């Protein structure tokens, strides 16, 4: 990193202070969304989508609820052209969906683009998006043109759109982008955009779109917000202009650029699902939309079946979704940390018992179920970093075990020990098997084969037990059946412990329901041992739990 002196700021602040956006604390309504997956997303793929894949992706975008979809650059390739024609000729564009086609501000490319949209059933639902680069770097290095010459390219392109639309007798909508806006002096970008608008003369009934791309991120997001606010305040025909954002993600700020740009006055966002796009990608519309959702704002897009969206996306694009991608990644709701698991489990219990009006579960910004995720599979995940709360949650949610609070630490340690040795995450079924192995139906070295009870001096128990193959019969009394059996074991084998925890509950709700009992014992040294038993007879379940705990003290 010895060449830091080679770099300088490549962005330009507006000529006046633009800080009104700072006074707002949240985006309070959904913008107009335009998916550019089929253009920006497609051109970023190593292997671009086929016609059939683009059709499947278009269908998905419509299902999600996009009302504006950029379908391609028809003059760029035969596939792009054919796709546009297929949508039109097969009448695949819903009446409430507008398609957008992209073209450079060059005469032959514009004319080819207009050929691609001929015969559209509803020309008002077609946006022709024209662009040319305006940045200092592009003017000086690529085009070697003056500001006036660059502006003239934009104006001539705008005029040609007007002329061809009039010739077709259509009412296509128009969009203009000063490409590389973030590397352009804001006052010059304003001059170019206003010159284009003077050609189009938009009206409230036929609005033009001025799209301000973060073609390359050069600045922190608050700078972009100032640039957007400046344009918002000084664009001509403002009530007839849809001010649009098109952020890329070179500095990892695509989402913050978008959110701050919306605060600064933008009406519309162009982006992609999962942030796919050139270089580091476009802004991830899923993240921006669900950020709004998490604050009680309807994004007006349907992400309720995230698994389906991800499956189709990966199938048609060949791209992977990062497991930590906000909201959509496989692990974004997963909690492995013990303290996090405990807080989530308690928060979920609070939601179930107290039924509050708002979602406030710790560590979960939204309810995973709202996007089709499963609590058991996606939220509490168990490995060597997990804690007692998470293990207890898994056993309760999946298998109906309400393990006593005092017992959960011992269960958690047993489960974590297995994960630590195997260096792997444990599935709920594996956790349940560990629990059964360590805390249920343990019948060595002690076992009880028969019990008889009489109500004499409390409860008198006659207990037939075995120890290392030797059978013994012992009689003892107690203040209850479990206590009497416990006293018989102590009496016969000289055991020294106290029962410190006993709980039980039904496993199934029926006339033949089985019960599960949990017993904890403590030895004079302060060590605690645990066991559980399952039986249709609660007494047998309790004795089995005691037997497991006693055997665990000898293992």
- The CATH 3.30.160.270 domain(s) of the chain lie at 446-554
- Taking alpha carbons only, the member of 54, 51, 9, 52 closest to residue 36 is 54
pLDDT for position 310 = 97
Q: Can the peptide bond before residue 118 be classed as cis, meaning omega within 30 degrees of 0?
A: no
pLDDT for position 538 = 93
Say if CB 143 and CB 150 are below 8 A apart. yes
pLDDT for position 468 = 86
Say if CB 88 and CB 121 are below 8 A apart. yes
**CATH 3.20.20.70 is the classification of domain 27-317:** yes
Give the model confidence (pLDDT) of 295-345 as tens digits. 999 999 999 999 999 999 999 999 999 999 999 998 898 877 778 878 888
What is the SS3 assignment for 212? strand
pLDDT for position 381 = 67
In the numeric block, the tokens 């303290």 are attached to 339
Say if CB 333 and CB 364 are below 8 A apart. yes
pLDDT for position 422 = 84
Q: Is the dihedral of CA 271, 272, 274, 279 positive or negative?
A: negative
**CATH 3.40.50.150 is the classification of domain 446-554:** no
In the numeric block, the tokens 């897009």 are attached to 301
- The CATH 3.20.20.70 domain(s) of the chain lie at 27-317
Per-block average pLDDT, block size 10, for the chain (555 residues)?
84 97 96 98 95 97 98 94 97 97 97 97 96 96 96 98 96 97 98 98 97 97 98 98 98 98 98 96 98 97 97 97 94 80 86 89 93 75 67 86 93 88 86 95 93 91 94 96 96 96 83 86 96 94 97 92
Q: What is the pTM of this model?
A: 0.83
pLDDT for position 509 = 56
């Amino acid at each position: 990193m010895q060449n830091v002196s080679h770099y300088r700021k490549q962005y330009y602040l507006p000529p006046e202070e633009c800080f009104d956006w700072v006074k707002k604390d949240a985006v309070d309504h959904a913008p107009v969304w335009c998916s550019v997956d089929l253009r920006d997303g497609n051109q970023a793929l190593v292997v671009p989508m086929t016609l059939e894949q683009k059709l499947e992706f278009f269908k998905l975008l419509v299902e999600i609820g996009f009302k504006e979809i950029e379908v391609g650059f028809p003059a760029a390739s035969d596939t792009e052209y054919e796709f546009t024609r297929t949508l039109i000729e097969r009448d695949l564009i819903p009446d409430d969906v507008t398609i957008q086609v992209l073209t450079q501000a060059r005469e032959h490319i514009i004319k080819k683009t207009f050929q691609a949209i001929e015969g559209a059933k509803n020309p008002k639902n077609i946006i022709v998006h024209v662009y040319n680069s305006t940045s200092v770097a592009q003017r000086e290095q690529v085009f070697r043109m003056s500001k006036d010459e660059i502006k003239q390219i934009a104006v001539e392109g705008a005029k040609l759109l007007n002329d061809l639309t009039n010739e077709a007798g259509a009412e296509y909508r128009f969009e203009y982008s000063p490409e590389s806006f973030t590397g352009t002096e804001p006052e010059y970008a304003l001059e170019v955009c206003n010159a284009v608008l003077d050609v189009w003369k938009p009206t409230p009934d036929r609005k033009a779109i001025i799209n301000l791309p973060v073609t390359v991120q050069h600045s922190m997001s608050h700078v972009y917000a100032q640039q957007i606010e400046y344009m918002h305040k000084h664009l001509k025909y403002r009530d007839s202009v849809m001010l649009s954002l098109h952020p890329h993600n070179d500095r990892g700020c695509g989402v913050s650029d978008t959110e701050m740009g919306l605060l600064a006055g933008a009406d519309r966002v162009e982006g992609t699902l999962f942030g796919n796009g050139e270089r580091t990608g476009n802004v991830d519309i899923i993240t921006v939309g669900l950020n709004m959702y998490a604050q009680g704002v309807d994004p007006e897009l349907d992400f309720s079946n995230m698994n389906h969206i991800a499956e189709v996306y990966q199938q048609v694009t060949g791209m992977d979704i990062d497991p930590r991608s906000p909201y959509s990644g496989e692990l974004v709701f997963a909690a492995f940390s013990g303290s996090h698991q405990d807080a989530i489990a308690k928060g979920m219990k609070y939601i179930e018992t107290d039924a509050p009006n708002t979602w406030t579960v710790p560590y979960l910004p939204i309810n995973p179920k709202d996007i089709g995720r499963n609590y058991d599979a996606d939220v509490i995940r168990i490995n060597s970093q997990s804690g007692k709360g998470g293990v207890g949650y898994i056993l309760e949610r999946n298998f109906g075990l309400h393990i006593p609070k005092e017992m959960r630490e011992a269960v958690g340690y047993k489960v974590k020990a297995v994960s630590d040795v195997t260096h792997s995450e444990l599935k709920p079924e594996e956790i349940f098997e560990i629990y059964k192995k360590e805390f249920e139906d343990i019948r060595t070295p002690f076992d009880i084969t028969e019990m008889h009870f009489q109500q004499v001096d409390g409860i008198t128990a006659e207990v037939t037990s075995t120890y290392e193959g030797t059978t013994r019969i012992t009689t003892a009394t107690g203040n209850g059946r479990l206590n009497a059996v416990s006293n018989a074991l102590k009496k016969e084998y000289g055991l020294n412990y106290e029962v410190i925890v006993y709980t039980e509950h039904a496993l199934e709700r029926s006339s033949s329901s089985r019960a599960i009992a949990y017993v904890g014992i403590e030895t004079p040294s302060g060590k605690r041992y645990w066991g559980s038993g399952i039986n249709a007879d609660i007494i047998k379940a309790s004795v089995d739990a005691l037997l497991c705990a006693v055997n665990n003290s000898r293992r």
